[in-house]
Structure formats: C-alpha cells, structure tokens
C-alpha cells in the first residue's frame, strides 16, 4: 500500500491534469486534504480517499488505489458559493460521530459492546461507510454500518451479498 503522502501527491496530479474549467466548484482553487485510509470489511487497507477542499469543506474526492493509481474523481453538490450543500469532511461523519450513532441508534443489547469505528468499503470501492463491530460475551456479534444517511447492520463476518435475506 502506498503512503498517505504518495496518495496525496497522486490526487494533486490528478486534479492538475483534469480540465476543470467547466465546473465552477472544482475550477476554484481546491486544496488536497489529508487522505483517509479505506479498509476492506475484513480489515486490510484497500485504497485512499483523498478529499478536495474548498472553503474548508469537502468539495470532492480522489480515490487512489493501493498502487498509486487514480480510481475515481468525484465532487459533492452545490456551486462554489453553496458551501452548506457539501459535507464538512469527506467521510460524511467523523469516527466519534459514528461511534455515537452506534450507541444511540444501534439498538444495543445490555451486554453488547461496540468497538472502535473503522472506515471501510462495504462491497465495491465507493460504497464507503463506518463499520462498528459489536461483541457479546467477548465474541463478535454484529456489524453496524454507519453513514450520514443512516445505519444498517448484518451479523459480524457476513460480507455484502453473502446472504441477501439480511440486506
């Protein structure tokens, strides 16, 4: 896996190489923020999500794979002046916010303990969410997937598409 700084450098090169004049948001001076490591649900890092920032809010992103190649470039809604239409951070929520949602919205049993949030892709790259694994009696119990749009769950260890009755 390439380093965070190498991912940031690739994102800068990608933005510089794109013809962004047609996009009033990305044509403004965007800065490249600190890359976020995106992991597979099983744990290993898969790629980097590099934020493009305008007016201190996430204006878009560059996905950089483990070998340093650009996978995708995207932008968030709104014009250059509509900062409220864009998320404050590229992940939509912070790890602390995801942990809080797991506690408040996860319908935890009295003996269920939430773990530390990890930023993952649940299925293909781009399906990015926070994953909080809960445990009961020291054993994995559920996977809570948390984003700004809501929360969904599966039994711990069940990957997307393995059991369609659970989704």
pLDDT 10s digits, 109-129: 999 999 999 999 999 999 999
**Residue (of 77, 93, 68) closest to 14 by Cα position:** 68
Q: What is the mean pLDDT of residues 130-149?
A: 97
The confidence score (pLDDT) of residue 119 equals 98
Q: What is the pLDDT of residues 72-111, one digit of tens each?
A: 999 887 666 677 778 889 999 999 999 999 999 999 999 9
The confidence score (pLDDT) of residue 150 equals 96
Q: How many CA atoms lie within 13 A of 57 on its CB side?
A: 18
Taking phi over 0 as left and psi of -120 to 50 as alpha, with beta for the rest, 141 belongs to: alpha
pTM value is: 0.89
Report the relative pairing of strands 45-54 and 31-32 from DSSP bridges.
antiparallel
Using CA atoms, how far apart are residues 103 and 7, in angstroms rounded to an integer? 33
The confidence score (pLDDT) of residue 18 equals 77
């Amino acid at each position: 896996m390439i380093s965070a700084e190498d991912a940031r450098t690739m994102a800068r090169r990608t933005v510089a190489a794109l013809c962004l004049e047609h996009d009033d948001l990305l044509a403004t001076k965007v800065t490249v923020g600190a890359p976020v490591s995106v992991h597979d649900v099983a744990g290993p890092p898969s790629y980097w999500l590099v934020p493009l920032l305008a007016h201190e809010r996430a204006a878009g992103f560059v996905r950089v794979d483990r070998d340093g190649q650009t996978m995708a470039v995207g932008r968030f809604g709104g014009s250059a002046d509509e900062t409220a239409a864009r998320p404050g951070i590229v992940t939509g929520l912070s790890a602390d916010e995801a942990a809080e949602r797991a506690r408040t919205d996860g319908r935890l049993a009295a003996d269920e303990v939430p773990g530390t949030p990890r930023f993952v892709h649940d299925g293909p790259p781009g399906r990015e969410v926070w994953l909080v694994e809960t445990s009961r009696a020291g054993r994995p119990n559920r996977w809570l997937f948390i984003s700004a749009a809501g929360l969904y769950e599966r039994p711990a260890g069940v990957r997307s598409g393995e059991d369609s009755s659970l989704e």
